[in-house]
Amino acid sequence: MPNLDILRQHVEDLGIVSAHKLVDMFYTDVQKRIAFIQDYQENGGEQKELHLNAHSLKGLCRTYGADQAGEAAMQLQAACEGDDETLIQEKIQLALGIIPADSKACFVFMNTLKENVEKDDAGEHEQ
Q: What is the tens place of the pLDDT at every residue in 28-69?
A: 999 999 999 999 999 999 999 999 999 999 999 999 999 999
Structure confidence at residue 121 (pLDDT): 74
Structure confidence at residue 117 (pLDDT): 85
Percent of the chain with pLDDT over 70: 96
Alpha helix segments (H runs only) across the chain = 4-14, 16-43, 47-63, 67-82, 85-126
d(CA 127, CA 79): 58
The structural domains of the chain, ordered by start, are 4-119 (1.20.120)
The pLDDT tens digits of the residues spanning 91-119 come to: 999 999 999 999 999 999 999 988 988 88
d(CA 48, CA 6): 30
Evaluate if residue 126 carries a pLDDT over 60. no
Evaluate if residue 125 carries a pLDDT over 90. no
Evaluate if residue 71 carries a pLDDT over 80. yes
